[in-house]
Chains A and B, each alone.
Chain A
Amino acid sequence: MTFPLFFASTAQFWYSLPLAVTVALVYSATRFEDLTSILRHSVRIMVWTTIFALLMFFWLRWLTAGL
């Protein structure tokens, strides 16, 4: 697959950004009461969620590369 086609197929991934932010914020806010702790915790969760999703994405791309 050429690069332009590759990025065209990943454009829908931007929808996951608001979802990741919301989930991280709400989840962290149910862990702590202090706003500073909530924000720090949510940033950590969002980073880890994004890394995990990217790893899964590239793993699946690698699995299906020959199909």
Chain B
Amino acid sequence: MSAPSENPYSTPVIPANNQLPPGTLRTPWVAALLAWLIPGAGHFYQRRWAKGSLFFFCVMGTFLYGIFLGSSRVVYASFRPYDFHPSTVCQVGVGLPTLPAFAQYFAIRAKQAPMWDGFMAPPVIIGQEVPAEWARAQMQRGKIDGDFEEGDFVPSNNPRYMLLARYSNYNRQLLTDPYFNDYYSNQLSEWHAKYDYKYELGWLFTAVAGLLNFLVVFDAYRGPALGYRYVKPHPDASGKPDEASPPRPEPTAAAP
């Protein structure tokens, strides 16, 4: 007859060494890859259902709440001069949900119009060439519905394209050099004006979601950092000599 504590159906199975049971992590690099692509998917692959669900809802919830606050404009990839978006490095931690941002970036580089009504598209910057039809449609939408108004885009050398341009406040000269993005309003400035502090909050939430998912990837690869469950450290486990206990007396020679 076994003791009640050894019955696996009445008590939770807690490993004696406070580590995950062997084989739980399955193929760690596959789990890590899945965890990066979709938050929580690596843990589902390892059949760690509770933690997988927790990671999925927390990370995806934070990411989607950020998009809800600041619209899909807070997530974009851009590595152009005068428009490097550093939070992309954090946001890419969420994995596949940021894939549209990279699709949009490569479309912009190929001088195509932003797809999906600008979902996760980088902002149009001064001097950027965009298809003329798209530019005219944007100017017709106006600033209430869109981000541009008549006169924002000027003809390019190539008749198929138009350029975003700004007039200098100093000498009314037409500026089309990307250098002036640091000093004059472009589409990113419009987003900041339109969404106010919620644009910053959306940026923050999406970036934090990506950073948290990096921790999730490590957990899928190596397991929990501090063991299966919290164990209160034993007072004798400090490694220091116990000063309270008296020194052991030296053995003395036996009396003759």
Contacts and interface: CB of A to CB of B under 8 A. Distances in A.
A and B from one complex: yes
Interface of A: 12, 15, 18-19, 22-23, 25-27, 29-38, 40-41
A23 B208 contact: yes
Interface in B222-248: 223-230
Nearest to A12: B197
Chain B residues touching A, range: 20 to 34
A19 B62 contact: yes
Contact of B55 (A18, A29, A35): A29
A22 B58 contact: yes
B20 interface: yes
Contact of B225 (A22, A31, A35, A36): A31
B92 interface: no
B225 A34 contact: no
A35 B65 CA distance: 25
B228 A26 contact: no
A41 B51 CA distance: 15
Interface stretch (B100-108, B141-149, B165-173, B212-220): B212-220
B14 interface: yes
Interface of B: 14, 20, 48, 50-51, 54-55, 58-59, 61-62, 65, 69, 197, 201, 204-205, 208-209, 212, 215-216, 218-219, 223-230
Given A19-B62, A22-B62, A35 B50 contact: yes
A33 B20 contact: yes
A63 to B, nearest CB: 22
B226 A31 contact: yes
B38 to A, nearest CB: 15
A32 to B, nearest CB: 5
Given A31-B225, A34-B14, A26 B230 contact: no
Most buried by A among B54, B201, B229: B229
B156 to A, nearest CB: 42
Contacts of A25: 54, 58
Contacts of A35: 50
A33 B223 contact: yes
A40 to B, nearest CB: 7
B212 A22 contact: yes
